[in-house]
Structure 1
């Protein structure tokens, strides 16, 4: 077969702000998603959270001194108005800091959650074939609940650091009161630290296990919802319910493990905290008997022991940080899905023609596969596939089930990239094209199109004008169906009753504007023969290159050439009549 030649366009690149945005997006895509990365994302509000936490902790540490001054003033028979007023002011300051911390922490988590969800959705939609290794329900659980937990990484990190201020501050102030008090407190503080460390380890393990099981259950529920009619028809609702909820006992056990860790920490705290406080109080009483501290300072020493050894707030902070760290670890697995990268090139020529190396006008849409290889879990899906479809020609892709037809269609439309080889459109490798140039030139329609959008018009032509949508619908015979609906093209997609054939028409309408190549993966298989022929005629009028995956002998016979696949390799390329002489080729349509 003679090969039409194409010329490469001069590489272009977005300029100015677009270039900066593209570079920033690429840089973010290369960064690993870690606990620290989520914390850095929240850095805009973290200073406010840290400042409010610090001021709140300092006011809490200052309160016992104010109370000590009030007690000493009362014991000495002096007026205690000023110390009491200072104590009241410190209490109000602490309440204000708590309010600021709550507001800023919520806003910070909401911003981080939106950032995480946006990045994860872009990765999932930007590399759909790689996302197949995750169940859809599990992905939804990670992007929704998982992102919400992970978004608290920044506030929880600040809270952990701020949580060190009360015990350390108590230690310093006890040493300032009298150094034996600090020694007694330090012994109890070591016990508190051991309790927190053990609690953090147990909580992190339980939180991760809980999220994993929750994702598995969500995946099963998603599968069941997608096959609800099949389950109802088979009468297996009870069995399916049991399958979905099979891990419920395990989920409950992991939840109980979290509560056991919390209760165990509480039990240990019930020993460690009072021991630390008793040690300080005994020492303080001894110091008071020697006249080294006053009665007010005895009260302050007890308050500092209670503040420094208290675990009530710290256990909540540690638990939140553990959940955030576990969620980030699960989200990082999705974040590793590198989205498809695009170049900045445009296709040579415009409209339906381009220029060959000899300067003559040639038909646009020349599609060339060069040693294309696609890897699969159990072996290669495509291996060394090479062929050329001249511009404006119709190529039928045939083969037995599992031969790689749909994978080839995905590669041709650049819905996935091959691990080896390259696909060229009019001489330009597909990865070098800009996103806009590629999607303007190449359209894809499948046997079971996934329809999305608010209305029927959105599903038919996302981002296109109503005039363009109606033109596509008229060409493909979908206009009559649309105008019969209560709101016409503005009917909500969720309530549009449609058969498999009508869904395929909508999918075809969506790909109709493609200027050079249409990749049709059995996209008319649910239509009757008359409708299929009408659509075939409409497609032929546009003169675009068509790569048609089919199992119908009539479609192969109408094509200009046939690409015959067998177990991921090209068994033959040529006219249908020539290939028909091979009994193995005829057997493809008999199966």
Structure 2
């Protein structure tokens, strides 16, 4: 089956990456490395000047030596100085180029990584991990070469231009013999730049696709081994290689054609210069030294063929910068410098919240008030917008319309650290980075103390299995033999240790058995800092124990009320039909123990007029 190149995120309908972001990013990189780039340009210009002066000086030195002139020795010394200066300047250019490339790459990579971490997870999710890794590694490196390559290209034009001017001073006819072929060289270089751009972009995208497929396979290695599909998976990962081979061959054919054409054209021009120069020498119009200088200048002007290499580096860098700009242009979540009132119980209010992702409206005009100290369960069918509501409630993502307030303060006006100290999350599949179990629980806007770590672990039911690990809380968390339920309990422990006014559990108890879930519920009510709880629930048991239920349907709030009241609606009962047996829903669920006084729940107040009518 032929490989079909996928359309990556951030491309147009033709699969091309818009270059506007690339130009903006490269201009910023050039400005940031302006001092080093200027030094490269100056050294390159000085080297080009020495290279342009050298043939004239050497030619004149030859004429003086042939005439046995007394000044010949000083001109020999000057020739040696020019040649030495050219070598030293070229060495300085190479050193400065390496430093500039490294620092430009580091700046581009750091900036893109910072923007990736600053954006909301759902904004970054369309970019596969392998694609992101390629953009931040290979593409950043290629884009980082552009400032130095641009300076070198500018300087490289000066040498041949100076050589042509010097030919005009030596003899007009000799210069015209060279200039006659330049239009053909310009056509060759323009065609090279135009044809290279598209094929380089496709080559880079296929590289990213292969990396993405490989990371997917590594992530699902156990499933692949269990299914015995290693050969099929290997074929899937390597399927794009045919496209990579095709684009790579096309790219090098374009480059090779440009180099070959220039390598054929320029020697012909050099030969023409020597032929015309010989005729002019025979006519007595130029001297032997001037003929030698003309031949050297012709060779120097022929260096325009080397521009194809620099031009190719800039084309690849621009294409890479366009891919990197997709990451750089991810919108960062807004944060202010504000703080929350000293006294507050965690009242959450949503005013006209609408969220649109990938062209689809996920939440529509949500008006909601969850009183402080309330445990609210968010229920609904798959795709109803439950996780998006949970993400918006704690500013993991920004709404496209409307705003969210915590104790009367808009979330986007709060300082990032202050917000994260007051809003804690636990997820269905918690992720732990390198470090110990204690580090995994303690990590957050502030580092939890040893006592807080143990207390949170006990509340989440994690202390028992942690004590069985070889080094207990100092055991490395990555690679520890933990089940899915145990990992979830560690995630809950991390959230409990950092619980503030608002604690959001996004299906964070799905892997727990019923007994452990009830233990966690009791600890949540009695051992964790009091505040508002927003629980994305799929089980009837979770909804029945909540103070109120937020029922989502198609991205809208259909109703808000107590579980016992909503249970009278067959449509509400059908939400749980696929995940729970009816016997789990008690006719009169017991209220959850409360740590702080709670305001009476009114459907009209909590869910707005429409939700209140639906609840009634």
TM-score for the superposition, normalised by structure 2? 0.85
Q: Is 1:516 matched with 2:501?
A: yes
The 8 Å contact of residues 433 and 478 in structure 2, kept in 1 or not, is answered as no
Q: Is 1:556 matched with 2:539?
A: no
Q: Is 1:428 matched with 2:409?
A: yes
The aligned counterpart of 2:210 is: 217
In 1, Cα distance between equivalents of 2:93 and 2:476: 43
In 2, Cα distance between equivalents of 1:251 and 1:533: 54
Give how far 1:52 is off: 1.5
Q: How many residues align?
A: 550
The 8 Å contact of residues 32 and 332 in structure 1, kept in 2 or not, is answered as no
Give how far 1:153 is off: 1.4
Q: 1:495 pairs with 479, 502, 516, which one?
A: 479
Give how far 1:419 is off: 1.4
Give how far 1:78 is off: 4.2
Look up the SS of the partner of 2:253 in the other structure: helix
Q: 1:477 pairs with 461, 468, 483, which one?
A: 461
Gaps of 5+ in 2: 1-20, 579-616
Give how far 1:587 is off: 1.5
Q: 1:158 pairs with 122, 140, 151, which one?
A: 151
Q: Is 1:83 matched with 2:75?
A: yes
In 1, Cα distance between equivalents of 2:427 and 2:69: 89
Q: CA separation of 1:459/1:103 partners in 2, compared to 1, >3 Å: closer, same or farther?
A: farther
The aligned counterpart of 1:565 is: 552
In 2, Cα distance between equivalents of 1:104 and 1:490: 46
CA-to-aligned-CA distance 1:3-38 (integer Å, 9 cap, x gap): xxxxxxxxxxxxxxxxxxxxxxxxxxx998433222
Give how far 1:138 is off: 0.8
Give how far 1:111 is off: 1.4
Look up the SS of the partner of 1:310 in the other structure: helix
Q: CA separation of 1:456/1:72 partners in 2, compared to 1, >3 Å: closer, same or farther?
A: farther
CA-to-aligned-CA distance 1:492-539 (integer Å, 9 cap, x gap): 333322211222122223322131000101111112233222222222
Matches within 5 A, 1:178-189: 178-189=171-182
Q: Is 1:248 matched with 2:246?
A: no
In 1, Cα distance between equivalents of 2:233 and 2:573: 42
The aligned counterpart of 1:116 is: 108
Give how far 1:561 is off: 0.5
The aligned counterpart of 1:6 is: none
In 2, Cα distance between equivalents of 1:300 and 1:32: 41
Q: 1:389 pairs with 347, 356, 370, which one?
A: 370
Q: Is 1:411 matched with 2:396?
A: no
The 8 Å contact of residues 456 and 491 in structure 1, kept in 2 or not, is answered as yes
Look up the SS of the partner of 1:141 in the other structure: helix
In 2, Cα distance between equivalents of 1:206 and 1:487: 54
In 1, Cα distance between equivalents of 2:475 and 2:291: 76
Q: Is 1:543 matched with 2:524?
A: no
The 8 Å contact of residues 168 and 174 in structure 2, kept in 1 or not, is answered as yes
The 8 Å contact of residues 455 and 490 in structure 1, kept in 2 or not, is answered as yes
Q: Is 1:35 matched with 2:26?
A: yes
Q: 1:456 pairs with 437, 460, 475, which one?
A: 437
Q: 2:562 pairs with 541, 550, 575, which one?
A: 575
Q: CA separation of 1:522/1:36 partners in 2, compared to 1, >3 Å: closer, same or farther?
A: same
TM-score for the superposition, normalised by structure 1? 0.89
The aligned counterpart of 1:92 is: 84
CA-to-aligned-CA distance 1:261-283 (integer Å, 9 cap, x gap): 22212221133102221222122
In 2, Cα distance between equivalents of 1:466 and 1:96: 59
CA-to-aligned-CA distance 1:285-311 (integer Å, 9 cap, x gap): 222122222111101101111111224
Matches within 5 A, 1:144-543: 144-311=137-304, 313-349=306-342, 353-354=343-344, 364-377=345-358, 379-462=360-443, 464-467=447-450, 468-512=452-496, 513-541=498-526, 542-543=529-530
Look up the SS of the partner of 1:34 in the other structure: helix
The aligned counterpart of 1:67 is: 58
Give how far 1:70 is off: 3.0
Q: Is 1:587 matched with 2:580?
A: no
The 8 Å contact of residues 383 and 554 in structure 2, kept in 1 or not, is answered as yes
Look up the SS of the partner of 1:324 in the other structure: helix
Give how far 1:81 is off: 4.1
The 8 Å contact of residues 101 and 145 in structure 2, kept in 1 or not, is answered as yes
In 2, Cα distance between equivalents of 1:203 and 1:341: 39
CA-to-aligned-CA distance 1:547-580 (integer Å, 9 cap, x gap): 0011111111111111111111112111111111
Look up the SS of the partner of 2:298 in the other structure: helix
In 1, Cα distance between equivalents of 2:334 and 2:418: 13
Look up the SS of the partner of 1:493 in the other structure: coil
Give how far 1:145 is off: 0.4
